Structure 1
Amino acid sequence: MRVQTEEWRRFIPGSQMYKGKKTLFYNGEILWDADEGEYLVYDEEEQHSWEVIIVLPGVEVIPEETFSGCDKIETVIMADTVRRIEWSAFASCNSLVFVRLSRNLEVIGDYAFCGCDSLTSIFIPPSCAVIDKCAFYGSSDLRILHVPRHTHLGEGVIERTALIRASPFEVDQYGKYDVNITESVNEWIRNLNGDDDQFALHRACSSFNPITEIIYEIVKRKGLCSFKKENQIDITPLEYLEANPFAEDIDQSLIANRYVLEMMGEAV
C-alpha cells in the first residue's frame, strides 16, 4: 500500500477501512498492558482484525509489545518522526510482508520483529545506530536485510531466518549458530555487497535513497544483464529494487527502455 506524503495531513487517529483494508492510524498510544495482560484501547478482536498499520507523524516511539501477536497485519508504514521501536513491538505478526521504516529511525529493540514468518525483506535507514538482540529472530522467510555498515547489531539478529541459512556460516537444523561467531555474522551482514564493483548495482538498488541516474549509469556500464546478476546469497539487483520501500519512484522498465534506445543511437 503506497501512501503519498501529502496524505499524512488528513489521516485521523483510529481504526477504519482504508483502501479496502482494515487500518489502524496509530498515534502513539499504549495499547497493551503487558504486566496486567490487558488490552487498554482496543479489544482483542479489534486488534486481530488490523491488516495495515500507519504510524502517524509526531509519533517518536512504538512501545514494547504494541502490535505483538496481531496476526492479520500485512503492512506497516511509519512516518519519519519515529525514532525507536521497542522490545517485541511487532513480534509474531505472522502475516507481515511489507515494512516501510522511518527515515529517522535510531533504534530497533530486542525481538522487535521476532517471529514475523512472512517478512521477506527489510531495509534499514542510515540513521539507525542499533539493532538489538534477536530483532528478526525466527522470521523464517527473511532473505533481504539491508543494514548500514555503522549500525551496531546484537546477538542472534538473523537466527532462524532464510538469510542465515543462505550464509557461509554453520548453523544447526533450526538455523541457530554458535554465539561465539556473532561478530563474524554481524560483520558479514553489514558488508554483504561489499565495495567490489561487481556488486555496485546491488548497492545502488538496495540504498535507502536509490537514484535513477546512478542506477542507469551502472546499467549503462554493465549492461541490462546486470539487473539479474546474483550475489553470494542469490539476490539480484532487480529483487532489491522491487522489494525496496524507498524505491517506489524507480521504474526498472523505463531504465531498460532508455538503455535500449541509447544503444540504438536514438535520442533519449
Structure 2
Amino acid sequence: MRVQTEEWRRFIPGSRMYKGKKTLFYNGEILYVFAGEGYRIYSQEERNSWEVIVVLPGVEVIPELNFRGCENLERVIMSDTVQRIEDEAFSDCESLVFVKLSRNLEYIGGYAFYDCTSLISMFIPPSCTEIDKGAFDGCTMLSIFNVAQQTQIGERVFANTALIRASPSEQSRYYNHGAVNEWVKNINQGEEYKLHRACSSFNPLEEIIYEIVKRKGPSALQKKNEIGLTAFDYLEANPFANIEIDQRVLLKRYVLEMMGETV
C-alpha cells in the first residue's frame, strides 16, 4: 500500500494535525443548526481546538453560524469554488488573524466576521458584489481593507474597527454609512498611491512594482497613505501575493540601474 503523504492527506475531509496545527479540512457540512439543535458533528471542545480551517475544492457555500465562536481559530484558507459566506459564519472567532478568500467569492453575509477582534487585514476579490450589514463590525484591529469600487457595502460594515477610527470624515462620528464606505474604497486611489494598488492587487508582480518604484523613485517605498500604511504593508498582508520582495534588493537594483550597471 502506498504511504499517504501530507500533500495527499490535505484533500481528505476531517479534523487532524497538519504541519503542527490542529486543522479542519472542511467539505461543506452544516455544522450548526440554529433552531435549538446547536452544534452538529463536532463538539464545542473540538471546535475550540481548531487553529486552521482549509475549505476544500467543491465547497460553494459557508453556511450561517458554521464556525461561530471557534475561539482558537487563527487562519482560514478557502478554495476558489466558494461563492458565498452566509450570516455570522465566522463571528466571534477572536483569534482569527488571516483569511484567504475565494477568488470567485460573490457574497459576504451579515455579521459574517463580527467581533473577530484579532483580524488586521482583509482582501476582497473583485468578484464580490455585496458585503452585507455589519460583516466586519467589532473587528477592532482591522486596518487594511482592499475592496473594488463596484462592490456594494452595507450598513455598519466597518463599525468599531481601526478603519472607522482612522476615518477623517466628520460624518463618520454619526456613522454616515455611505460616506465611510466610499472613503474605505478610495483610500489608495490617485496617482500617488499607485504602488499601494499594485501591492494590493490579486496578482502582484515584481516587475510592475519595480517599474513604479523606478518611475517614482525610492521615496515611493516609504510613502504612507492617509491611514499611515506603506505599499509594502499591503504587500506583506496580501494573501494572494505569491512573491517575496526584499526592499533592500529592490533598492540595490534601482541604484545599480541608475548607475548604468546590472544586478
Instruction: Tell me what 1:127 maps to.
Output: 127
Structure-2 separation of matches of 1:104 and 1:250: 24
Residue 191 of structure 2, aligned match among 185, 197, 219: 197
2:65–2:88 Cα contact (<8 Å) kept: yes
* Corresponding position: 1:224 with 2:218: yes
Give the counterpart letter for 1:224 in structure 2: P
2:55–2:78 Cα contact (<8 Å) kept: yes
Structure-2 separation of matches of 1:240 and 1:10: 29
1:210-249 map, 5 Å: 210-249=204-243
Residue 260 of structure 1 deviates from its aligned partner by 3.0
1:200-231 deviations in whole A, cap 9, x for unaligned? Answer: 11111111221211111100111222112111
Under a length normalisation based on structure 2, what TM-score does the superposition of the two structures give? 0.93
Residues paired across the two proteins, number:
257
What RMSD, in angstroms, separates the aligned Cα atoms of the two structures?
Answer: 1.8
Residue 33 of structure 1 deviates from its aligned partner by 1.3
1:76-225 map, 5 Å: 76-170=76-170, 177-179=173-175, 181-194=176-189, 196-225=190-219
Of 14-23 and 242-251, deviating more is 242-251
1:2-50 deviations in whole A, cap 9, x for unaligned? Answer: xxxxx58852100010110000000010111121242211111000000
Structure-2 separation of matches of 1:238 and 1:201: 9
Of 240-249 and 88-97, deviating more is 240-249
Residue 249 of structure 1 deviates from its aligned partner by 1.5
2:253–2:262 Cα contact (<8 Å) kept: no
Structure-2 separation of matches of 1:102 and 1:108: 11
Structure-2 separation of matches of 1:83 and 1:24: 19
Residue 165 of structure 1 deviates from its aligned partner by 0.2
1:124–1:208 Cα contact (<8 Å) kept: no
2:25–2:54 Cα contact (<8 Å) kept: yes
Which ranges in structure 2 are unaligned for 5 or more consecutive residues? Answer: 1-6
1:200–1:218 Cα contact (<8 Å) kept: yes
Instruction: Tell me what 1:3 maps to.
Output: none
State percent identity of aligned pairs.
61
Residue 170 of structure 1 deviates from its aligned partner by 3.9
Residue aligned with 2:183, SS: helix
